[in-house]
Amino acid sequence: MMMATAIPMARRCPPARTSRPGSGPRIARNAPSRCSTRAGRKFAESCQESGEGSARWPVLWPVTSLVTGGELIMAAVASAIPPSIPAHVPKSLVFDFDHFTAPETKSEPHRRVSQLLHKNAPDVFYTPRNGGYWIVTRAEVAVDMLRQVESFSSSPQFNHFKAFNPPMLPVQADPPEHTEYRRILNPKFAPGPVGKLEVYVRQLARTIIDDVYPRGRCDFIEEVAERFPVTIFLKIAGAPLSDRARLVSIAVKYTRSPTFEERQEAISDMAAYLREKFRERANAPKDDLLTQIVQARIPDRELTETEKEGLGVLLFFGGLDTVKSVLSFVVSYLAQHPEDYKQLVDNPALIKSAMEELMRVSGVSTPERGVTHDLEYRGISFKKGDRIVFLTQLWGVDDQQIPNPYQVDFSREVSQHYSFGAGPHRCIGSHLARLEVRVFLEEWTKTVKQFSVENHVPVKTAGGVVWTPVVLPLTWPVAN
């Protein structure tokens, strides 16, 4: 049964009580807040004025807060419901949560956000943030909904959040059109063609590791994660390596921007880049993904220019940001859990299975759907055009599906996870992502026998369409 919960929250307001460092999370219900003092009220007001806090309408204290290690992570605040809540949404299903800002905790965003939502919010709830939308946090419910494409559609015509131009294909299409678009891309991302890349992937991993290792430290995001998977994708696509920084910047703008306008700007920038490349391939074809899109037909016609751009935009955003983020979460975890990393160093044969367990707790993507018609699902009334966001990041740490979900256990017989999505829109690049993560760990463990986050600083995460660590400074002893 779905639990109704108190609604809106305010973020980063000082807590009245704190837990002892290292004592783990606890829920402090209706604790007197320091925001009830004059200084506290000034802090809350300054948060609202500066945009630092998440409250955007009058907030009433005391709060219901999630406190971990003395830090206020989130707070569900007894507050007036903002007027933007649709009439068909009951108050019991409203929970103030912003998936663009919520992961910005100091560390372990998957655990912290799941503890907030799985313990305090309904499995399916409505948030007034960013125009208002439903959020699904539980794996079983989400997978079931994603498979019901006739009710929960990727097509922008059923989503009041507006349609991107060009629409990103095949994600923003439903079967059978989706199937035709995906068929165009399959040849480059099927297991066979991906397997043939292993020699190149391994050579690139070795080159990058040999470059950073002698220094005993690196900024993993900038020096490794933005070089390794991104370089591989650009090779498959046929885009010049000299364009890497420009393309990564566009992808980051799309994945981290909360507004439609900012995300549309990123899409337009990427589409403009691709138009130029498509013209080049039309005149001089090559054996690459860009040429494959230019020459594609579905099933007996050429693609329109808009369709070509839509396919390219989605592929480039996915190739430039998704694997980079997954790999960064995996390495961040290992840097902070030396006992687990030692298992991989001592037993390299464990890497292939351990990789799945590590990716289980490293979900990154946030797919969306639109409701195609008025319907009732699991006792909830949805209206045509309602927007639904699926937090796949939490599926791998869902305690209804996985025992001890926060415990990484390389001996799990079945490490179930949906890090690459579910249903017909499952990530087409999953085989390539697995190859890249596995090969990198195999080569990294050969050279770096132990490593850690430099000065043990908290690893900040950015939320949005794709969750990702922002900065990951690593250090290790260099063998003589």
Write out 93-113 in H/E/C secondary structure: HECCCCCCCCCCCCCCHHHHH
| Residue 169 DSSP symbol | T
* Edge-to-edge strand list for the sheet holding 59-68: 25-31, 59-68, 71-79
Residues 6+ apart with CB under 8 A from 184: 292, 293, 296, 298, 303, 311
Alpha-carbon distance of 396 to 412, in angstroms, equals: 13
Residues 6+ apart with CB under 8 A from 15: 28, 31, 33, 34, 65, 67, 70, 72
Residue 247's pLDDT is what? 95
Residues 6+ apart with CB under 8 A from 437: 323, 326, 327, 330, 355, 358, 359
Question: Which of 38-42, 162-166, 218-222, 261-265 has the lowest average pLDDT?
Answer: 38-42
Alpha-carbon distance of 467 to 390, in angstroms, equals: 13
Residue 19 has pLDDT above 50, yes or no: no
Average pLDDT, rounded, for the chain: 80
Residue 420's pLDDT is what? 64
* pLDDT, tens only, 242-254: 999 999 999 989 8
Between 7 and 389, residue with greater pLDDT = 389
Residue 415's pLDDT is what? 53
Residue 205's pLDDT is what? 98
Between 278 and 40, residue with greater pLDDT = 278
Give the closest residue to 217 by CA, choosing from 440, 446, 448.
Answer: 448
Domains within the chain, CATH numbers bracketed = 25-137 (no CATH), 156-475 (1.10.630.10)
Counting other chains too, the contacts that 72-76 makes at CB distance below 8 Å and 24 or more residues apart are: 72/11, 72/12, 72/13, 72/14, 72/15, 73/105, 73/112, 73/116, 74/9, 74/11, 74/102, 74/116, 75/9, 75/10, 75/11, 75/13, 76/5, 76/6, 76/7, 76/8, 76/9, 76/120
Residue 272 — very low, low, confident or very high, per pLDDT cuts 50/70/90? very high
Beta bridge partners of 365: 466
* pLDDT, tens only, 451-475: 999 999 989 898 888 899 999 999 9
Among 16-30, 168-182, 347-361, the range of highest mean pLDDT: 347-361
Q: Six-digit token pair at 50?
A: 């500066």
Beta bridge partners of 380: 377
Interior/surface letters 122-150, b for 16+ CB within 10 angstroms, e for the rest: bbbbbbbbbebbbbbbbbebbbbbbeebe
Residue 191: count other Cβ atoms within 10 Å of its Cβ: 12
Residue 210 has pLDDT above 80, yes or no: yes
Residue 170 — very low, low, confident or very high, per pLDDT cuts 50/70/90? low
Residue 67 — very low, low, confident or very high, per pLDDT cuts 50/70/90? very low
Residue 53's pLDDT is what? 36
Alpha-carbon distance of 150 to 157, in angstroms, equals: 13
Residues 138/390, Cβ–Cβ less than 8 Å: no
Residue 230 has pLDDT above 70, yes or no: yes
Mean pLDDT (whole number) for 424-434? 77
State phi, psi for 229 to the nearest 5 degrees.
Answer: -70, -30
Residue 207's pLDDT is what? 98
Residue 368 has pLDDT above 70, yes or no: yes
Question: Which of 21-30, 228-237, 271-280, 339-348 has the lowest average pLDDT?
Answer: 21-30
**Kind plus residue range of the DSSP H or E element containing 323:** helix 323-336
Give the closest residue to 263 by CA, choosing from 100, 85, 433, 132.
Answer: 100
Length of the chain in terms of residues written = 480
Residue 363 has pLDDT above 60, yes or no: yes
Residue 255 has pLDDT above 70, yes or no: yes
Residue showing tokens 């480039």: 316
Mean pLDDT (whole number) for 101-121? 87
Residue 166's pLDDT is what? 78
Alpha-carbon distance of 324 to 125, in angstroms, equals: 30
Helix axes 430-447, 198-212, angle to 10 degrees: 40
Peptide bond into 176 cis (omega under 30): yes
Residue 21 has pLDDT above 80, yes or no: no
Residue 290's pLDDT is what? 96
Residue 355: count other Cβ atoms within 10 Å of its Cβ: 22
- To the question of pTM greater than 0.75 for the whole model, the response is yes
Alpha-carbon distance of 293 to 368, in angstroms, equals: 25
Between 122 and 160, residue with greater pLDDT = 122
Between 424 and 110, residue with greater pLDDT = 110
Alpha-carbon distance of 181 to 175, in angstroms, equals: 9
Residues 437/416, Cβ–Cβ less than 8 Å: no
Residues 151/386, Cβ–Cβ less than 8 Å: no
Residue 480 — very low, low, confident or very high, per pLDDT cuts 50/70/90? confident
Give the closest residue to 137 by CA, choosing from 359, 418, 376.
Answer: 418
Beta bridge partners of 75: 65
